[in-house]
Amino acid sequence: MAGAASCNLFTIKTLPKLSPPTASHAQLPPPASVAFPWPSAKKEAPVLLLRAQRSPFVVRAVGDDEEKEKEPEAGAEGTAGSVAVAEEGAAEVTEIGELKKKLAEALYGTDRGLKASSETRAEVVELITQLEAKNPTPAPTEALALLNGKWNLAYTSFSQLFPLLGSGRLPELVKVEEISQTIDSEAFTVQNSVKFAGPLATTSVTTNAKFEVRSPKRVQIKFQEGIIGTPQLTDSIVIPDKVEFLGQNIDFSPLKGVITSIENSYSSVAKTISGQPPIKIPISSNTAESWLLTTYLDDELRISRGDGGSVFVFTKDGSSLLN
């Protein structure tokens, strides 16, 4: 039929006139529907259907590409975020280090704060406040291992802790060699100790106490006993040439000859006295209690606040922070 249609189409195009339609011609489909050179609507449908079927494939392919492209971006953002956090942490550590360095410089020559001027105290308080705001250990009582050990007092605002030192009544021959606090986190004990050094001997005054954890930062301290250490006599007597006492200069140079003559016998006396046990004084008073709030703690520095708003700055034994 297609061949006949093509012949009819050729005849129609070449003959100038059309003959009347016959019955056989009437049965044939319209020439345009058979010989139209462009795809008909019915033939176009499969093409549209094919495109509709291919379209999701194309969309999915693009979507996959986009996801693949986004994955590195997400990773890059994650990496950038990690780098930003790391840089921020490093910057904070650096800032804490700078604050501790400034604090050490401010405390230099203050004799644990007892000789600090009002201007220096104000600077120290400001630095302490900044360090407390950046405390790397927000719950010190939950990090008892970090609290554990011997801490040397570097500064205190509680001048009444040692009235003699605060008033300057001690002669220059007697010096405070060390003020320390030793914490045993396993036994829950605290030992406060003051070591005095003189030309003839060294001795210490110590208080032993138990502590209880009351909050993430606070401990309650109950004192149990005081101990006066046995004087440890030095092997040789060291006396300065001159000493200022009560506004007057005392010359000790004439005594050097006498001291040299008795050093031999003094050595045996030193060994005898040093072998005696310390004197212990029980503390049974129910009012012999205090509390301590640790507001900053790391592996070399501890800041605590106590009764009456007093502040204490300690450095871990062996730390070079204040050296």
Any idea how long the chain is? 323
Give me the pLDDT at residue 203, please: 85
Per-residue model confidence as pLDDT tens for the chain (323 residues): 444 444 444 444 444 555 555 544 445 455 444 444 444 444 444 444 434 444 444 444 445 445 444 454 555 556 666 666 666 667 778 899 999 999 999 999 898 988 889 999 999 999 999 999 999 999 999 998 899 999 999 999 886 665 555 545 555 667 888 999 999 999 999 999 999 887 777 889 999 999 999 999 999 999 999 998 887 776 555 556 666 655 567 676 666 665 566 555 656 666 666 667 888 888 877 778 889 999 999 999 999 999 778 999 999 999 988 77
Q: What is the pTM of this model?
A: 0.63
> 301, 296, 305, 303: which is closest to 318 by C-alpha?
301
- What one-character-per-residue DSSP string does 265-315 give? HHHHHHHHHHTSPPEEEE---TT-EEEEEEEEE-SSEEEEE-GGG-EEEEE
- What one-character-per-residue DSSP string does 118-141 give? HHHHHHHHHHHHHHHHT-S-S-GG
Beta-carbon neighbour count of residue 250 at 10 Å? 14
Give me the pLDDT at residue 308, please: 77
Give me the pLDDT at residue 266, please: 59
Residue 78 phi, psi (nearest 5): -65, -45
Q: Is 183 helix (H, G, I), strand (E, B) or coil?
A: strand
User: Residue 102 belongs to what H/E stretch?
Assistant: helix 41-107
**Which two tokens mark 90?**
């490093």
Give me the pLDDT at residue 39, please: 46
Distance CA 299, CA 267 (A): 41
Give me the pLDDT at residue 151, please: 97
Domains of the chain plus CATH, in order, are: 95-229+278-316 (2.40.128.280)
Q: Is 187 helix (H, G, I), strand (E, B) or coil?
A: coil
**Which two tokens mark 133?**
């705001």
